[in-house]
Amino acid sequence: MKVVITGGTGFIGRRLAQRLLQRGAVAGPDGRETAIDELVLFDLAAPRPPMAPDGRLKIITGDIADPATVRRVIDRATGTVFHFAAVVSGQAEADTDIGYRVNLDGTRAVLEACRALGTRPRLVFASSLAVYGGDMPQVIVDDTPLTPQTSYGAQKAIGEFLVNDYSRKAYVDGRALRLPTIVVRPGRPNRAASSWASSLFREPLSGAEVVCPVSRKSVMAILSPRRLVTAIERIHDLPGERFGFNRTVLLPAISATAEEMVDALRRAGGPTAVDRIRWEPDAFIQKIVDGWPRAVLAKRAESLGIHADAGIDEIVQAFIEDDLPAQKALVAAG
């Protein structure tokens, strides 16, 4: 069976790809465990650094919003699509056109390519807590109304509704994951408004300085990459009947202020690491972050066997074990 990951050379796509190659099989459209014959990573650029060679792995570059290209990637051999390709929050807010082109038109292109197969492939869509905003409750729960206050959040909310509708019509066997901020992301900072949360750990532990654009009291709901990949696998493999009429699952998270993150950094890297942080407020980023949920209670996800990290120290330790050596090498290379 062929598996496609859009945004596949990005952080989440790459990590999931490594896990799937290791596993060797996933649930197919009929629910049975099926061997992965081909794993396609579709993105704007090839992975950097390159991934380890594997006869099942194929890299394709192209435009997610071009329907013809997407149809060539998602062909009759495709049994599963993980749709992660997206313009990040800060860029989508600053550039309305590119945000809607990639995050909305790209999602439509993926869904239409799946629909054209006539085989009801499984599809996992990455949504975001940015679908909430405005006058939110103190704690987000499974049935909290969607009230996005950014273009990115609106685009993700529309994507969730599309996945529901295409699943209702049996064009896909879809499910959407509503992601909190994923920490710690390795690599270089991006234009996501949440990028600072990873940077607070990533750069100082790697020996580099970092600028934090938000106040020490700013709160984020966070989940580790380890827990995220486990959640993606679990949600993908569950039968569609487990989701009922609502194909979106709010993922669990722990809540932490920037100050609490710095305390965890101090425990992991000592005062020298903390001294590498410079606090330089950015009103644009602060406004976006202030409009996001601060706490999550994801009972539905927990009932499906998906759980948050035990605490910030667990998240930091996972980064140290999984990514810090490569991150230090990246920083040293300049």
Residues serving a catalytic function are 152
Q: Is 140 helix (H, G, I), strand (E, B) or coil?
A: strand
Q: Count Cβ atoms within 10 A of the Cβ of residue 25 and give its class: 0-12 exposed, 13-18 middle, 19 or more buried.
A: middle
Residue 144: count of CB within 10 angstroms of its CB: 16
Q: What are phi and psi of 253, to 5 degrees?
A: -160, 160
**Rg (the chain; Cα; Å):** 19
Q: Taking the CB of residue 239, how many other CB atoms lie within 10 A of it?
A: 9
For residue 96, is it left (φ>0), alpha (ψ between -120 and 50) or beta?
alpha
In order of 34, 123, 127, 174, 235, the CA distances from 239 in angstroms are 14, 12, 20, 10, 9
Main-chain phi, psi angles of 70, to 5 degrees: -65, -35
Nearest to 125 by CA among 277, 13, 289, 290: 13
CB 2 within 8 A of CB 79: yes
Q: Which of 260, 247, 298 is nearest to 141 (CA)?
A: 298
Give the residue among 298, 167, 294, 168 at the shortest CA–CA distance from 231. 298
Neighbouring residues of 321: CB distance < 8 A, sequence distance ≥ 6: none
DSSP codes, 89-136: HHHHHH-HHHHHIIIIIHHHHHHHHHHHHSS--EEEEEEEGGG--SS-
